[in-house]
Structure 1
Amino acid sequence: MQSILTASLPATGARSAAMATGTSTIRVFLADDHRVTLWGLQQLIDSARPEMEVVGTALTRAELVAHPALAETDLLVLDLDLAGEDGCTALADVQRRCRGHVLILTADEDVAHHRHAVMQGARGVLHKSESADTVLRAIRKVHEGEVWLHRNIVAELLGQLTGRSSAPPPAPDPNTQRIASLTPREREIVVQLVRMSGRKQLAVADALGLSEHTLRNHLTAIYSKLGVHGRLELHLFATEHGLNI
């Protein structure tokens, strides 16, 4: 469903300890507020024995942070929504007791929520629509010290690290675009109209060296570009946006 990018990082925490002691089985803890999902994940991971095994499960945030199996966990598979609570809020407590990595498994498609989880310490984000094989592969990769993330998140995080944002530039202000569409002559006409507010149009045309007919043509174009109707609205717009100088 989503484009994934993995990248190697130095092995740390439980992975380092496992490498040092020769432990090969990946000890997985599951945290999800749906019993059916927990059951399915446990069956999936147990099918991969002896490569990995489930050492504990939790339905709520409170169960998760208090569970004694966290201390022996190599990898935590965590849902972002734990019975209405944000799973990310448990990460600080979890990481004090668990040296393993965290893989987010979620139905949430909001990339902003995925990015927040990564900033809180998660090493991977996986959507629940992914295949069973993909879930197992993500567990292996994250346990080995790699990251498993949507390419958009990786690009944004790299942009932050290098001081370059990958986010698109903010949309320009519509009024700024309207003003930029005026020609130099049209801007001059706007200034003169504001200065001669209350004077008849013929007097304004004379001051600009134009015929009244030509001035009307210019005004039709100016009104259209600025989205105003008549001299009063033009005067208000020009004053508000600094076009009267």
Structure 2
Amino acid sequence: MASQLKPLRESVDLRHLRQIIAGLDEGVILIDPDETLLWANDAALSMHGVERLEELGRTVDEYRERFRLRYRNNHRLAADDYPIERVVAGDSFSEVVVEVSVGDDDTPRWVHQVRSLVLNDDDEGEPAMVVLVIQDVTARFEAEDRFEQSFNANPAPAVITRLADLRYVKVNQGFLDMTGHARDQVMAHTVYEIDVLREATDRELAKSRLAEGRTIPQMEAELELPGGGTKLVIVAGQPIEMSGEPCMLFTFADLEPRRSAEAALRHSEERFTRTFQMAPVPMAIGARDGHRLCEINESFSGLTGHEEATIIGRSLAEAGLWADERTRREVEQAIADGRDLRGHEVRIAAREGGHIDCLVSTVSIRIGGDDCVLWAFQDITQRKATEIELVEAIEAVMKDTRWFSRSIMDKLARLRAPQPDENGAGIDDLTPREREVLAQICRGLDDKSIARALGVSGNTVRNHVARIYSKIGVNRRTAAAAWARARGFDGEALIAGRLENGG
């Protein structure tokens, strides 16, 4: 066909045509019907990385030898498919997109969008000149490549649908992993066939915005999964353009972990509530700030006499539960300082009157996002009464110790007075005179007898006894004797030594 076209040089003057197209941003290559490249503007030369027409090629064949073209799908163009060949052959086409590389280098340097133009001779109606019009769309396609790489690599689930027919045109791996769909399955459907707006919070608004190509705000939806069941997500839509076509980018946030966590938390709270209510230990739950109670169990009601109606919404102090102000301050200060109590001995007031001796324990917990305190009480009233009776019995017996051996007296004394801290004072912390007084106490002597034995005044003995009590942390003679014997000191050796020396 090229041999049948009339050469341009014989039919038209190029001078005026060159002047018209020289300053265009689009690249223009003028080709004679005999396949000679007549002229190219600066834009066309720049789009091929050359400065002169000769470098572009003097003929169609030379152009094809110097530049390699391939489609965007990486398929090489056959010789007859080159746009420059097609335009000379008389084909009419528009928006053919090709990647262009130079020589033997297979790496594309430009992306061209090419269209053809045939100028006819008005007198004879035959093609007088063919024109190749080129746009450099490299930057646009590089941006699209970067977007596609980012889109595919992004772990956040996403799909893109074409607004013209609402068919999916892209889907990333995040969406496939989240839903279990296959890529081909998604690409074969529309936005309402694989419904990304199913059960959306404001479905009608989302559908309206999609039809108008406007932003779809975030809303919850439930995607139907191919294997059955649904997945709770947040979906949002953003209008974008892909290859010149209006599209909608849908992005998702998987809320299923949150739903599972909420369900687990709800079940955990239900188990806690059942355990709390059934516990035989009196317990209550209150706010950390203000100590107002929000829940009590049956054991608490049984201990204090308070039902929910009389105490919920009130603090222990407002309900008059604390038997004295000092105890209330101690407990509330410990909670304010962030300390958990363990077996702290307190006295509380029962609603019907009387006092209850308790061991109270507290622990900080969070319920529904609020800082709370879990209270636990142990009734030790009976135990305390038994201890008091035992001490009173011991004191009554020890008023006359003639019928008891020294070992029995020591054991009774230990029951009556707890042992002081082993890390406290020791025998060596007492002065020699204090040790002499303690030795006489261990023999069971009273102050007057000790004064006679040591040859000092009764007032001096009383002062020594007071200092001994203060140092070792006791307040009774029997406790002092028990303290000394627990440390291997009964005073006999000290008294014997004193007698040998004539003391």
TM-score, with length taken from structure 1: 0.28
Task: Identify, as 1 or 2, the structure richer in strand.
Answer: 2
TM-score, with length taken from structure 2: 0.16
Bigger RCO (CA 8 Å, 6+ sep) = 1
Bigger Rg, which one: 2
